[in-house]
């Protein structure tokens, strides 16, 4: 995004695509997508093939590698936003597959969102009702439950599970000094930390572009299933997906609780 001083927002992103399934989407987005940012700081997993990395490096992205361990997701995100904060006064954190989907379908909204990011310290990027409706039930029900609990700690209704938000350089510095969560729980921890610290300008916006993006990787499977709704419904019949999503939601709530210095009430048996 640009103003009189040039582009003010850098991208911070994590990339995990062992099959290189999003490569066609990436190549379509180059070189336009990087031009929207002051710079790109991307942390890619070791499993992501070089054919995904090379075009990004050629487009000027700073790409580092790291393990795909679940318990280090938050650490990878913090590393990415710290790198991005060296490139511009504001940072757009977004999972890379979500960003590609956003660029392909909602470019004007993406530009407007980057302009908003540059005006505050924390911009929570949530989803409209229509965008929520594109997700499978195993994701909607677990993420909305996590959002309700995090919202109580944050102080107003928010969507913290979208995989994207905006941060100012000083917000990044504060998180680097105070965040103690290393997994996906940073989705809950970071907003509560900044909100409760005081002195940070916090806002939120609902987006269409943060709709369900995973199906982009499997167009043939979606077609064979009879469309996105049928493909999602098939996945909702898999208990393992509900187990995984429940774990993510629980960790996000735990991260928010740690930031609020609160503990769950009640007792455990035994």
- pLDDT tens, residue by residue, 234-255: 999 999 999 999 999 999 999 9
For residue range 188-236, list pLDDT tens digits in order: 999 999 999 999 999 999 999 999 998 888 899 999 999 999 999 999 9
Angle 169-192-7 from CA coordinates, rounded to 5°: 25
Q: Say which CATH class 9-260 falls into.
A: alpha beta
Domain chopping of the chain, boundaries: 9-260
Angle 155-161-163 from CA coordinates, rounded to 5°: 125
Confidence class of residue 263 from pLDDT cuts 50, 70 and 90?
very low
Q: Tell me what pLDDT residue 262 has.
A: 52
Q: Tell me what pLDDT residue 254 has.
A: 97
Give the pTM: 0.93
> Of 122, 135, 124, 221, which is closest to residue 172 (Cα–Cα)?
122
What is the spatial distance between Cα 34 and Cα 189, in angstroms, rounded to a whole number? 29
What is the spatial distance between Cα 141 and Cα 137, in angstroms, rounded to a whole number? 6
Q: Where does residue 157 fall: left (phi above 0), alpha (psi -120 to 50 degrees), or beta otherwise?
A: beta
What is the spatial distance between Cα 53 and Cα 130, in angstroms, rounded to a whole number? 33
């Amino acid at each position: 995004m640009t103003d009189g001083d040039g582009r003010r927002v850098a991208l911070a992103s994590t990339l995990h695509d062992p099959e290189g399934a999003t490569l066609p989407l990436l190549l379509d987005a180059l070189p336009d997508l990087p031009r929207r940012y002051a710079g790109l700081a991307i942390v890619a997993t070791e499993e992501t093939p070089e054919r995904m990395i090379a075009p990004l490096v050629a487009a000027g992205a700073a790409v580092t590698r790291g393990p795909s361990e679940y318990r280090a997701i938050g650490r990878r995100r913090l590393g990415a936003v710290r790198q991005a904060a060296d490139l511009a006064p504001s940072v757009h954190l977004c999972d890379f597959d979500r960003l590609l989907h956003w660029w392909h379908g909602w470019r004007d909204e993406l530009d407007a969102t980057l302009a908003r990011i540059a005006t505050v310290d924390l911009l929570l990027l949530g989803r409209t009702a229509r965008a929520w409706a594109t997700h499978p039930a195993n994701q909607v029900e677990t993420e909305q439950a996590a959002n309700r609990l995090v919202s109580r700690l944050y102080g107003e209704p928010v969507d913290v599970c979208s995989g994207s938000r905006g941060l100012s350089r000083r917000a990044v510095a504060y998180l680097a000094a105070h965040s103690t969560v290393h997994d996906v729980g940073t989705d809950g921890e970071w907003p509560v930390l900044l909100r409760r610290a005081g002195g940070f300008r916090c806002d939120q916006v609902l987006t269409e572009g943060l709709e369900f993006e995973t199906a982009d990787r499997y167009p043939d499977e979606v077609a064979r299933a009879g469309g996105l709704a049928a493909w999602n419904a098939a996945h909702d019949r898999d208990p393992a997906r509900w187990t995984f999503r429940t774990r993510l939601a629980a960790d996000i709530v735990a991260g928010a609780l740690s930031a609020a210095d609160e503990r769950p009430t009640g007792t455990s048996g035994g």
